[in-house]
Structure 1
Amino acid sequence: MVFALSSTATEAEQPRVLTVKEGYTPPKASSSNGRVVPIQHAAESKVNFGAEVYGIDLNHFTSADFELISDALHRHKLLVFKEQPEMLTPQQQYRLTACFDPDETTGGFAHGADPLLFQGNGVTIYGLPNRPAINAQPQVHILGRGELPPNHFDFPPGFKVKGIDHVDFHLPPHIPQEERDQGASRFYQWHWDGSLYDIPPPRVGCLLAVRTPKGPDVTVHWGDGTGRTKKIAPGATAMVAGSRALELLDPELRNTVMHSRIEYAPHAFQWMSTAHSAQLGHILETEGLEKPLDKLSPWTKDKICIYPMVWTNPVTGEKSLQVHGQGAFKLYLKDTPDGKEKIVSDLKEVRAFMHRIMSPVLSPENIYAHPHKEQDVILWYNRALWHSITEFPESYGPRVMHQCNIAASDHPSG
């Protein structure tokens, strides 16, 4: 069964009180047995991030393990933990993620309090149909599509997670269903994780593969008239590096983004919920379909997020173009630190600029599509990578992932 969001439960009426983070210090150890092996990408690939980690049991990681993990993550931006002896528990997934931000004290989910999703037969579930929370650790949510395994935490038998569908979000024409059944796919939404309003975006994301779809590779179609495609594993998470996106801009445009900022819409995901995405999943189409600002949940100007376009890795000093094209509401453009600022508020112009700076990196040779393996865990540096979900045929079976995102203690400052 698929449980729909209760018609009487709204975010304001039924907030989920998140557990405050208890101080957690991993057990001390003098050294780590972890081994970091960079991912070997295909010869034609321009991807230069990602590493596999062996020898660390994330259910029992030590302080020395975490020191190795933290340094490796900032340098490689994506870590894939292999050979985990058991499924990572939600509690340990939360603890691992929380260790990256010791100054964060609330332990809150990066998108705020969850609404009531389902209540019945002694079971209460919070979240959204495509993102239910695990009661044992409510900052850990289930993503994917399909029926959960039997006796999966507090979820009732037959509980299904609602999957993404580009037909519900992308501008037509959509991929015909018969082609989708044969493995035609789309990038759903290129983004970094964050609410884009009030709450600071996470420093890291953590994803556990519980169930993965089984079937041949799918073919992702760009849908932008170029005819570009890319073969990837079903259910893969596509990723690109913000540093590569910055590198590909011409010098004049690169100079502009280095000194410019983006203002994101209040309650950006509500605002865009009635609009259409471009078929590549990086910007919205300008059709006047965004939800009016006075129809959104209550908001105040002081909680609107205005972020620099370029963020800096605190360990390596590397610069990354970190922008969310679909949530962009207004631009503040400058060519020099002390130059005159040009404010762009026309949404068509905003999106034309976002397309100009985002589209160069969204080419097959720059994209790494991570093929999830059951029981593997991935960590990514959310302030240096963009990612997108990809679609796969329903006949391939369920995709069940546990994701942990925690609101950071700070907003990006460049």
Structure 2
Amino acid sequence: MVIATMVETTEAEAAPGLHLLPAKEAFTLPHAEKSTGRIQLIEHAKGSKVDFGALVYGIDLNNFTDADFEFISDALHKHKLLVFKEQPGMLRPQQQYRLTSSFDPDEKTGGFAHGKDPFLVHHNGLDIYGIPKRPAIPEQPQVHILGRGPLGDDHYGFPPGFEIQGVDHHEFHLPPHISEEDREAGASRFYQWHFDGSLYNIPPPRVGCLLAVQTPKGPNVTVQWDDGTGTQMSIPPGSTAMVAGSRALALLDDTTRKIVMHSRIEYAPHAFVWMSTAHSTRLGHLIETEGLEVPLDKLPAWSDDKVCIYPMVWTNPKTGEKSLQVHGQGAFKLYLKDSPDGPETIVTDLKEVRAFMHKLMRPALEPENIYAHHHHEKDVILWYNRALWHSITEFPKSYGSRVMHQCNVAASDHPQ
């Protein structure tokens, strides 16, 4: 069994010895007059307030056409999450990248959403890049492997038995942590509520894509909020949890909603390095204010012109729907105003910044608003990254491996 031993940096851009991805190659999708796709809305549990998600049948993603892509794009912007069922074979990394990058034809670099990957390991004449918890597939380095557990033999050139090191709330969340005994009995947490993106310099992807290669097998786990409310939720093991930013916006009181419609968030430079020495809240939506963040003058070199300042509310370009799209853990400074031409209040105290972010995020983080997607092997999920928040969830090691292929590509534009 091979376990990579390189120390994780939490943002690849900070590491030395970086490789460059080749520029994005132009490609033309096979032509068809009409898509073969069919849509079926996801049936959510009784009492659920989740209003997004659809199943897609009839499209083989290893052979999708230009008509299929138009069908997929329209469906994704409408439903925000698509689950592709009945795939005849595992989605090839090249096709996963082709699908994901087709949403942004103006993006020319073909770069991974978190920047360049550091060198990880050399095997059989192949250089493998990435970090132990997110190695890149050599033949298509925009596609990364996530999860926990050993890969099968001959997995796209990886050494036999190469083991993916899963994320663990023990390494990131504020103590006390869930005990090993309770975790094996099915106690779980949301690891980090976020949209995909580096939050510094690189525009966040328009879409995210996950292929389920291996999935854990066992009874449901119980996600614990561990925030003093006693809230918990039963979900399938290894689920990806999702919340709609539109729902989060609708749940705000009128005064707060008026503010977020005209306000912006400044994210910390090299946000994931900045937060890497701090503790997350146990719910995974904020950083605890303990003064443990990496000081700005100790971060990798950064400049003001690359700091990301995003609106709190993002607009779906096809439907016009508004979504509260925020990353609570990376928030560094707030620019608040309640009208387009009104006075602006700048909030720089991190405790106040996080109190406001909690006010925005916590109402949506209730079981009735959360969809926990149960991955099935060979299924592919595609989500609109500029309208949904998501989080991985933990599961007992005895349930087996979770191996996912993820692709998200830096966008050609920042949210406006």
Same fold (TM over 0.5): yes
Tell me the SS of whatever aligns to 2:35. coil
1:145/1:328 CA distance change after superposition, 3 Å: same
Counterpart of 2:115?
112
User: Would the aligned equivalents of 1:325 and 1:355 in 2 still touch at CA under 8 Å?
Assistant: yes
Cα displacement (A) at 1:164: 1.0
For residues 24 and 52 of structure 1, the distance between their equivalents in structure 2, rounded to whole angstroms, comes to 27
How far off is 1:19 after superposition?
2.2
Counterpart position of 1:192: 195
CA distance in 2, matches of 1:121, 1:61: 32
Report how many residues are paired: 413
Q: Which residue of 1 aligns with 2:337?
A: 334
Aligned to 1:273: 276
1:355 corresponding residue in structure 2: 358
Structure 2 residues not aligned, in runs of 5+: none
Q: How far does residue 121 in structure 1 lie from its aligned partner after superposition?
A: 5.3
- The corresponding residue for 2:235 is 232
Q: How does 1:210-359 map to 2 (within 5 A)?
A: 210-359=213-362
In 2, the alpha carbon distance for the partners of 1:12 and 1:377 equals 31
Aligned-partner Cα distance in 1 for 2:348–2:393: 31
Which runs of 5 or more structure 1 residues have no equivalent in the other structure?
A: none
* 2:406 match: secondary structure: strand
TM-score w.r.t. structure 2 length?
0.98
- 1:162 aligned onto 2:160: no
Q: Is the 8 A contact 1:123 1:156 kept in 2?
A: no
Offset at residue 149 of structure 1 (A) = 1.1
Aligned partner of 1:348: which letter? Answer: K
CA distance change for structure 1 residues 380 and 147 in 2, over 3 Å: closer, same or farther? same
CA distance in 1, matches of 2:8, 2:269: 23
Residues 6, 117 of structure 1: 8 Å contact kept: no
Match of 2:392 in 1: 389
The alignment status of 1:153 with 2:153, answered yes or no, reads no
- Aligned residue identity for 2:5: A
Q: CA deviation at 1:150?
A: 1.0
Q: CA RMSD in A?
A: 1.3
Shift of 1:13: 2.7
Alignment of 1:69-218 (within 5 A): 69-120=72-123, 122-218=125-221
With over 3 angstroms needed to count, the CA separation of the structure-2 counterparts of 1:156 and 1:312, relative to structure 1, is: same
**Is the partner of 2:78 in helix, strand or coil?**
helix
Partner AA of 1:232 in structure 2? I
Q: d(CA) in 2 for partners of 1:412 and 1:122?
A: 40
Normalised by the length of structure 1, the TM-score is 0.98
Q: Indicate yes or no: 2:12 matched with 1:3.
A: no
1:19–1:138: 8 Å Cα contact kept in structure 2?
no
Q: Does the 8 A contact of 1:266 with 1:304 survive in 2?
A: yes
User: How far apart are the structure 2 equivalents of 1:320 and 1:10?
Assistant: 29
Maintained 8 Å contact 1:282/1:358:
yes
SS at match of 1:119: strand
Q: Which moved more, 1:17-26 or 1:59-68?
A: 17-26
Cα distance, 1:119 vs structure 2: 2.5
CA distance in structure 2 between the partners assigned to 1:397 and 1:242 by the alignment: 32
Q: Secondary structure at the match of 1:17?
A: coil
Preserved contact between residue 6 and residue 118 of structure 1 (Cα < 8 Å): no
Q: Report the Cα offset of residue 7 of structure 1.
A: 9.8
How far off its partner does 1:123 sit? 3.7
Change (3 A) 1:340 1:79: same
Provide the residue aligned with 1:14 in structure 2.
17
Q: 1:410 to 1:210 in 2, by over 3 A?
A: same
Give the Cα–Cα distance (whole angstroms) in 2 for the partners of residues 399 and 327 of structure 1: 27
Q: Is the 2:334–2:353 Cα contact (8 Å) retained in structure 1?
A: yes
Deviation (angstroms), 1:23: 1.0
Name the CA shift for 1:115/1:77 in 2 (closer, same or farther; >3 Å): same
| Alpha-carbon distance between aligned partners in 1 of 2:324 and 2:81, rounded to the nearest angstrom | 17
Partner Cα distance (1:303, 1:115) in 2: 21
Of all paired residues, the percent bearing the same amino acid is 72
SS of the aligned residue for 2:227 comes to coil
Give 1:405's aligned residue: 408
C-alpha distance in structure 2 between counterparts of 1:145 and 1:288, whole Å: 31
Q: Is the 8 A contact 1:70 1:100 kept in 2?
A: yes
User: How far does the alpha carbon of each residue in 1:374-396 deviate from its partner, in whole angstroms, 9 at most, with x for none?
Assistant: 00000000000000000000011
CA distance in 2, matches of 1:266, 1:335: 26
Distance 1:12 1:130 in 2: 15
SS in 1 for 2:76: helix
- Structure 2 Cα separation of the partners of residues 29 and 379 of structure 1: 22
Tell me if structure 1 keeps the 8 A contact 2:336–2:344.
Answer: yes
